[in-house]
Amino acid sequence: MNQSTVLTPRAATPTARRAKPLLLRPAAKALLFVLCLLPLAWLVYGAFADALGANPAEALIRSTGDWTLRFLCITLTITPLRQIARQPALARFRRMLGLFTFFYGCLHFLCYGWLDMGFVFDDIVRDIVKRPFILVGSSALLLMSPLALTSFNRAIKALGAPRWQLLHRLVYAVVLLGLLHFFWMRSAKHNYAEVAVYAAIISVLLGWRLWARLARLRAQRSASL
């Protein structure tokens, strides 16, 4: 007599946990970190491979400046993108992007001080005072310094959230000074096409914030009536 195979059901298992969203996984920050270093990796490779054109020093100075402005724009994009796309997890990348903005800004100034001025401090100071576009760029970097130094949780607790938020509104002054620095630098060669692109992007990012703030104020007034 053939015995029928008895199929025992699998033990009941609890509903599988929902997988973490991609943006909340630890690997997401690691991937962003690597992506943020790619411009630097390309510039280092270009310097050693003699792939930066006829004037490598100028290419390094300008490229690091360009990436500083790009990272500023990317950092300012996080808040509207987070709200429009309803992805609050995007906020966890804002700090890293802000620090990379400061990092590339420091590299930009370092390349200028080294490759253009030979690290002669007196010459650097005289050049900053003499040339307004360098003064504006240096001011933007100076204003970024307290933002980078207070971008950690302990600083938020020490300052208190309202004062910390007020301090970090300096980023709006930074991005406007950065755009002015870029405009003056490009105006020497009457090259305004790229300036117009950045101006449009920054106008949209700052305009959205103004619109959102006015909308909140209108909602508060309506609620109080």
Exposure letters 30-60 (e unless 16+ CB within 10 A, then b): eebeeebeebbeebeebeeeeebeeeeeebb
pLDDT level of residue 12 (50, 70, 90 thresholds): very low
How far is residue 187 CA from its own chain's centroid? 25
What span, in angstroms and rounded, lies between the C-alpha atoms of 65 and 76?
A: 17
Per-position DSSP letters for 109-132, written without gaps between them: HHHIIIIITTT-HHHHHHHHHH-H
Give residue-wise pLDDT tens across range 93-141. 999 999 999 999 999 999 999 999 999 999 999 999 999 999 999 999 9
Handedness of CA 203, 168, 61, 121 (dihedral sign): positive
Name the pTM for this structure. 0.88
Q: Which of 196, 201, 200, 170 is nearest to 183 (CA)?
A: 196
